[in-house]
Amino acid sequence: MKRKILSVTLAIIAWFGAVFFVNAYQIDCPQNIKVKEKVENRPNGWEVSDDINSLTVSFSSMIVYHGKPSRKVSLKPAKGLVEGKKHELIWEVDFKADVEPYYVSCSYNGSRIELIKKIDLSMKSCWADYFEDEQGKKGTLTCSTSEAKDLH
């Protein structure tokens, strides 16, 4: 009898896990990053000023790329619906239809530095949300296994 109760309990837990499993995930761009400049091939007799060796730069924006960002194939966002919710900045990232993975790039004010992260290959759509708090601008890319609808 105990085995039967245990089996039923495990089956119920597995069912709840499958029902409530969220087919989405988030990528949060770091809000601030510290950048240290390096001078290469410094000419003889020249020194680098100590006060410019490092600076903190703030998050600015996100871009979604098809393939590595160095290839410069950025995607244009659209407006539309994902899972019945309206979003202003949506990108379709269906890897199964393409041969290159997708990446998100986080850009920073006052810097040419971009932090990049590969988007999970199982995702079909992603949308951006921007927020402000006392520390500045924040950016989150949320991706889903659901396709975007009514894009324009």
Residue 13 is assigned to a structural domain of this protein: no
92 in Cβ contact with 125 (< 8 Å): yes
Please report the pLDDT score of residue 53 as a whole number: 63
Starting at the edge strand that comes first in sequence, how are the strands of the sheet with 102-108 ordered? Answer: 32-36, 54-66, 102-108, 114-118
- Asked if residue 7 is part of any domain, the answer here is no
pLDDT at 16: 41
Q: Kindly state the tokens that stand for 114.
A: 């971009």
Residue 33 lies in a domain: yes
Tokens of 135: 């520390």
Residue 120 counted as domain residue: yes
| Domain encompassing residue 74 | 21-39+48-149
In this predicted structure, what is the pLDDT of residue 51? 65
In a domain, 124, yes or no: yes
Q: For each of the chain's 152 residues, which pLDDT tens digit applies?
A: 555 444 544 444 444 443 334 477 999 999 999 888 777 888 999 887 776 667 888 999 999 999 999 999 999 999 999 988 999 999 999 877 667 899 999 999 988 889 999 999 999 999 999 999 988 999 999 999 999 998 88
Given this model, what pLDDT does residue 66 score?
93
3 occurs within a structural domain: no
Neighbours of 116 (CB within 10 A): 13
Residue 11 included in any domain? no
- The total of structural domains in the chain comes to 1
